Amino acid sequence: MGGAVSAGEDNDELIDNLKEAQYIRTELVEQAFRAVDRGDYYLEEFKDNAYKDLAWKHGNIHLSAPCIYSEVMEALDLQPGLSFLNLGSGTGYLSSMVGLILGPFGVNHGVELHSDVTEYAKQKLDFFIKTSDSFDKFEFCEPSFVTGNCLEISPDCTQYDRVYCGAGVQKEHEDYMKNLLKVGGILVMPLEEKLTKITRTGPSAWETKKILAVSFAPLIQPNHADSGKSSLVHLPPVAVRSLQDLARIAIRGTIKKIIHQEAMSKNGNGLKNTPRFKRRRVRRRRMETIVFLDKEVFASRISNPSDDNNNSEDMEDETQEEEETKPSELKPDPPVNFLREKVLSLPLPDPLKYYLLYYREK
């Protein structure tokens, strides 16, 4: 499933394409997608396909197409502090993006059928926390993953504000999925070949909306042939954060406010710094040519000869100008992690500084 948008060269280009195609429509969802590099969730030998709008599967490891994940994120209507349950959590890619929106006081749980994929997701989560350039821009609700069949969740589990199922749900399991929701909650799942959004409006009242046609592998039915009894899945408890964690969240939040205030005072006039120079662009008008031949359609872009003649000198000037302005100042400086710099400059013991930085490598 996928292929709805053009392939990108990198994660940002993929997100640009998803926005242009209206699969990403809100700023919160865009920020989350840009912060988590899809390529990091691929095995190294398959990364060439990471920014195509296609699903990927290798063994038990599976990623849905980016256009599906973006529609899911938009439909979930995520907000800070909500609880989220991801059924078929896979690599943890979606759970990590959701965690950036839920913030430090949300709940982020995932259930995955295959133990090797659960381990893979934990490794990718650890890599994201330690190395992501964008991690410090957010306060993160870290996902917790458990292994088991999502159709065997313990009946005494808590209900959630948001639930997503990443496998095709048979009609007989629709009520089971609905009962995982709190009143006011939203469930998104593939139901009868349609990605479906269900909102629980009351104890026994629901609103259903079909989003788009999809094709998902069906949920795996529990198999009790070996033991003769079910293996209930116990989700992580919803625990109150420790005082130590709360202190870290508060300190990081205060430092971010200070950094923002310093930036505002430095640019108090509200004007952005002007670039050192502007590259002169020469626009060349072009003519679209479409040829119909035996039911085939060929499209080409042909330069206007008169424009080519008129602009040949300008193009030479532009080439010369670009060669003259190639020094290192043209290359953008690497992004500065102001939060990291500020924490490292504080008069604190090193272990406390590293704790505030989540022991990150960058």
Query: In this structure, are 204 and 246 located in the same domain?
Result: no
The whole domain housing 357 covers: 241-263+340-361
Does residue 22 lie within any of the structural domains? yes
- Give the model confidence (pLDDT) of 201-224 as tens digits: 999 999 999 999 999 999 999 886
Does residue 96 lie within any of the structural domains? yes
- Give the model confidence (pLDDT) of 17-57 as tens digits: 999 999 999 999 999 999 999 999 999 999 999 999 999 99
Query: In this structure, are 213 and 257 located in the same domain?
Result: no
**Is residue 68 a contact partner of residue 148, using CB atoms and an 8 Å limit?**
no
Q: Distance between CA atoms of 145 and 102, rounded to whole angstroms?
A: 16
What confidence category does residue 240 fall into, taking pLDDT thresholds of 50, 70 and 90?
A: confident
Q: 212: which strand partners? A: 195
Query: In this structure, are 255 and 192 located in the same domain?
Result: no
- Give the model confidence (pLDDT) of 294-339 as tens digits: 444 434 333 444 444 555 555 555 555 555 555 545 556 667 889 9
Q: Phi and psi dihedrals of 76, rounded to 5?
A: -70, -20
Over 70: is that where the pLDDT of 349 sits?
yes
pLDDT at 267: 79
pTM confidence score = 0.79
Query: In this structure, are 143 and 25 located in the same domain?
Result: yes
Query: In this structure, are 91 and 150 located in the same domain?
Result: yes
Q: Which of 64, 89, 95, 132 is catalytic?
A: 64
CA dist 125 → 3, 104, 245 (Å): 27, 16, 18
Region of residue 252 (phi > 0: left; psi between -120 and 50: alpha; otherwise: beta)? alpha
Over 60: is that where the pLDDT of 129 sits?
yes
- Give the model confidence (pLDDT) of 253-278 as tens digits: 999 999 999 989 887 654 444 444 44
146, two tokens = 């458990």
Residues 6+ apart with CB under 8 A from 139: 103, 104, 249, 252, 253
Does residue 2 lie within any of the structural domains? no
- Give the model confidence (pLDDT) of 179-193 as tens digits: 999 999 999 999 999
Query: In this structure, are 164 and 250 located in the same domain?
Result: no
Active site residue 345: no
Task: Give DSSP secondary structure letters for 72-122.
Answer: HHHHHT--TT-EEEEET-TTSHHHHHHHHHH-TTSEEEEEES-HHHHHHHH
Q: Distance between CA atoms of 132 and 117, rounded to whole angstroms?
A: 21
pLDDT at 245: 93
What ranges in 197-345 are assigned the alpha helix state H? 243-266, 305-324, 338-345
Q: 2: which strand partners? A: 54
Over 80: is that where the pLDDT of 280 sits?
no
Residues 6+ apart with CB under 8 A from 129: 135, 140, 142, 358, 360
Q: Widest CA span of the chain, in angstroms? A: 83
Number of domains in the chain: 2
Query: In this structure, are 199 and 258 located in the same domain?
Result: no
What confidence category does residue 286 fall into, taking pLDDT thresholds of 50, 70 and 90?
A: very low
CA dist 335 → 94, 257, 302, 332 (Å): 25, 19, 40, 9
pLDDT at 229: 61
Location of structure tokens 């995955």: 112
Give me the chain's average pLDDT, please.
Answer: 84
**Is residue 134 a contact partner of residue 116, using CB atoms and an 8 Å limit?**
no
Instruction: Give the pLDDT mean for 135-139.
Output: 91
Which residue would you say has higher pLDDT here, 165 or 270?
A: 165
Query: In this structure, are 16 and 96 located in the same domain?
Result: yes
Does residue 331 lie within any of the structural domains? no
**Is residue 209 a contact partner of residue 196, using CB atoms and an 8 Å limit?**
yes
